[in-house]
Amino acid sequence: MKSVTLKKDHDLLAKIEFIEKEIKELKSTVLKQHYPPHKKLVTLRGIIKGTDISDKDISLAKKSLKGKMEI
C-alpha cells in the first residue's frame, strides 16, 4: 500500500514538473513574439542631456499625472 502511494506521489510530481516546463516554454514563446531579439530596446537615458529640469518642472509633471490617475 505504501509503495502505491509513493508511485502516485512520484507520478504527481512528474506531472507538475512537466507542466512547469510547458509554462516556461510558453512564456518564452510569448516573449519572443512580443520582443523579437532583432529589435533593439530604446532607452531614454541621455535624451534630455544638457537640459535643466527644475523642481517646479517636476512638481508640474506630478500634478498633471495625479489628475489622470484613478484610485
Task: Report the predicted TM-score, pTM, of the whole model to 2 decimal places.
Answer: 0.42
Supply the pLDDT for residue 43: 67
16 pLDDT above the threshold of 90:
yes
Find all residues with CB under 8 Å of 35, minimum gap 6, and list them.
Answer: 41
Would you say residue 71 has pLDDT above 60? no
pLDDT per position as a tens digit, 18-67: 999 999 999 988 888 887 666 676 666 677 777 788 889 888 888 888 77
Tell me, what's the pLDDT at 42?
Answer: 67
Distance CA 10, CA 2 (A): 12
